[in-house]
Structure 1
Amino acid sequence: MTPSLSPVICFDLGGSFIKMGVMSDKNVLTLLDQQPIPAQDWRAFCVRVSAMIARHAAEFAADSPVAISTAGIVSPLTGEMFASNIPAFHQRRLAAELGEVLQRKVIVHNDADCFALAEAEAGAGKGHKVVLGAILGSGVGGGLVSDGRLVMGQNGLTGEWGHGPITLTEVDIDGARVPIPRLACPCGQRGCLDTYGGARGMENLHRTLHGESLSSKAIVTGWQQQQARAQQTIQAWLQLVSEPLAYTINITGASCVAVGGGLASVTPLIAALNDAVQRCILRRTPYALVVPGAFAHQGGMTGAALLARRALAPAVRGL
């Protein structure tokens, strides 16, 4: 086994859980463990990660690197994390500081970026020149891959189509124009797509339109069952989401949009979104442009492991 193809220890860090896996020397990812994340306490977080690695030490080498996919933004200049929903490592240099604790090489990337790379390399975007990974989970996020390489922009931000004051102020529902208020976003701006576009956003939208609190699952189920209120909410949702996504496609030139997150599992919804996007872009494609990603559950860890391999052996191609 060459050093560049040694097993990679993979973690996916979210606001609720730490998921751990290992990518073998043959690029096969195996999920090993899942534990609650000590999201408030750096010391407890380090103890938890160390214990998980020790528990599964037989699965990898003593010098195997650690690849982390996480919510939040990683500064490309300093490695400092912006992860307001995980205070344990918010504003810490996670890779460097955790590496000192573990005595291993640690590489950290944003989870949407990791998902995008996994889809471009081995998923729905394989063979495409430009791939946009579009996250429709609890919120809206994204990552961009061009010619097989992750595009890293200013302050670690690229493909973040869910933020900025971009939402419509009215939508068409059954032929009537309905006003849509621009909501305050946790990012500090007002009118971000994130406030209406993800699962929590869909719930906000339904509440705004109907004064009724329903889960996104119940809304989507109602839409599929042709319930009137749910159908109106999805009509509005498709308009709100398709326009900024089409705009992003026009700017990036993406020939594939691989969708990840919980809403990606609803195939009819993603098909409807593709139809709505195709009506907005400058040139329709003869194939489905917006499609469910192939790595709905382990895309973050897969992409992180691929990035770790590249960082440790940049001359190796085809990983």
Structure 2
Amino acid sequence: MIRVGVDFGGTKIEAAVLDGEGGFLSRRRVATPPGYEAAIEAVCELVAQVEAEAGGGGGPVGVGGPGSVSPATGLLRNSNSTMLNGRPLPADLETALGRPVRYANDANCLALSEAADGAGVGADPLFAVIVGTGCGGGLAAGGRLVSGANAIAGEWGHTPLPWSTADEHPGPACWCGRRGCLETWLCGPAFSRDHREATGRTLAPTDIAEAARAGDPGAVASMARYVDRLARGLAMVCNIVDPEAIVLGGGVSNIPELYERLPAAIAPYVFTDRWAARIAPARWGDSSGVRGAAWLWDAAG
């Protein structure tokens, strides 16, 4: 049995075909074209290409992307790729591909992929985090997705930064219309913004980390603020779902110091006398999303 998955991202679209054991038979990616119709066409072209390379296909397709489908309207909502909001994306993909499509939030796909055969194997529950151009989360329990009654389980990125200090309140404006959401503190552009506001220099998150390793005082301070904010956000999740493992994906997850420093930074905020959880980068990196999408027809929750 082969499985087809699509990772529909704001900057790239990736399609892949997996074999029954989860190995890649084929995979391709392209930059996400501007415009809704052009992006749908790109998905169709990629699926046709990877199926031709894999020598089979034609079955249902799993798609991971930003936002989630409203159970009330069937339209996409809560996407930081705002061109998708209010669109019947899964239905339009089904029409264009001529086959059934199952859609899930990209962080849910990360959670499913890493629970199936990644850094979170055996963890119950598993919380997966995307800290990249946005900030999302997904929850898996018993190897299956937990999507929730309203299909918003895991959406920690649009909860406020907990235990905020006076200078953090009310927080930056968020595209969702509120202020101080975790996304405005923890996504990659937010990390860069915080460093720029403190030092006057614009650096990518991984460059801030590199400068901190070299002993740059401004970068050291920026890293400390980021780790503390990420720890506070994750501690809130730990107080609610108490995950056995936390898996990080997205560009910021490529900073190794996070895994060294987060356990000690999270523990003081968790409502317990002793706290432990596995914290690891996604085993499959930026291909976890497409892998999780391919598994959607097997492990939907």
Asked whether the two chains share a fold, i.e. TM above 0.5, the reply is yes
Instruction: State the TM-score, normalized to the length of structure 1.
Output: 0.85
Aligned 1:31-180 pairs, distance under 5 A: 31-42=26-37, 44-58=38-52, 59-82=54-77, 83-85=79-81, 87=83, 89-170=84-165, 179-180=167-168
Partners of 2:129 and 2:182 in 1: CA distance: 13
Deviations 1:104-136 (A, max 9, x none): 121111100010111122122211221100112
Given that 2:138 and 2:153 are in contact with CA atoms closer than 8 Å, whether structure 1 keeps it comes out as yes
In the alignment, structure 1 residue 196 sits paired with structure 2 residue 196: no
Given that 2:109 and 2:290 are in contact with CA atoms closer than 8 Å, whether structure 1 keeps it comes out as yes
TM-superposed deviation, 1:21 = 0.8
TM-superposed deviation, 1:185 = 0.8
Partners of 1:293 and 1:284 in 2: CA distance: 25
SS of the residue corresponding to residue 226 of structure 1 reads: coil
Partners of 1:120 and 1:53 in 2: CA distance: 25
Instruction: State the TM-score, normalized to the length of structure 2.
Output: 0.90
CA distance 1:149–1:41, change in 2 (3 Å): closer
Deviations 1:258-296 (A, max 9, x none): 11111212222222122211232224345x532222122
User: Which of 235, 242, 247 is the aligned partner of 2:231?
Assistant: 242
Partners of 1:67 and 1:166 in 2: CA distance: 32
Unaligned segments of structure 1, at least 5 residues: 1-5, 171-177, 315-319
User: Which of 245, 264, 274 is the aligned partner of 1:284?
Assistant: 274
Given that 1:163 and 1:193 are in contact with CA atoms closer than 8 Å, whether structure 2 keeps it comes out as yes
Question: Which protein is bigger by CA-based radius of gyration?
Answer: 1
Give the structure 1 partner of residue 212 of structure 2. 223
Aligned length: 297
Partners of 2:49 and 2:131 in 1: CA distance: 33
SS of the residue corresponding to residue 157 of structure 2 reads: coil
Given that 2:143 and 2:299 are in contact with CA atoms closer than 8 Å, whether structure 1 keeps it comes out as no
CA distance 1:52–1:204, change in 2 (3 Å): same
TM-superposed deviation, 1:228 = 0.5
SS of the residue corresponding to residue 190 of structure 1 reads: coil
Given that 2:80 and 2:134 are in contact with CA atoms closer than 8 Å, whether structure 1 keeps it comes out as no
In the alignment, structure 1 residue 267 sits paired with structure 2 residue 256: yes
Partners of 2:60 and 2:239 in 1: CA distance: 38
Given that 2:26 and 2:51 are in contact with CA atoms closer than 8 Å, whether structure 1 keeps it comes out as no
Deviations 1:69-121 (A, max 9, x none): 1122222444321235152x432222222112211121111100010111122
Q: Name the amino acid aligned to 1:259.
A: L
Deviations 1:208-242 (A, max 9, x none): 32333222222111111121000111111122221
Given that 1:165 and 1:189 are in contact with CA atoms closer than 8 Å, whether structure 2 keeps it comes out as no
CA distance 1:61–1:76, change in 2 (3 Å): farther
Greater relative CO (CA pairs within 8 A, separation 6+): 2
Given that 2:64 and 2:103 are in contact with CA atoms closer than 8 Å, whether structure 1 keeps it comes out as yes
User: Which of 11, 22, 32 is the aligned partner of 1:16?
Assistant: 11
Unaligned segments of structure 2, at least 5 residues: none
Given that 1:167 and 1:191 are in contact with CA atoms closer than 8 Å, whether structure 2 keeps it comes out as no
TM-superposed deviation, 1:168 = 5.0
CA distance 1:147–1:14, change in 2 (3 Å): same
Given that 2:114 and 2:288 are in contact with CA atoms closer than 8 Å, whether structure 1 keeps it comes out as yes
Which segments of structure 1 move beyond 4 Å, counting only runs of 4 or more? none
CA distance 1:210–1:57, change in 2 (3 Å): closer
* Percent identity over paired residues: 30
Partners of 2:112 and 2:88 in 1: CA distance: 23
Partners of 1:249 and 1:268 in 2: CA distance: 20
Q: Name the amino acid aligned to 1:85.
A: S
CA distance 1:123–1:77, change in 2 (3 Å): farther
Deviations 1:9-30 (A, max 9, x none): 2111111221111111332134
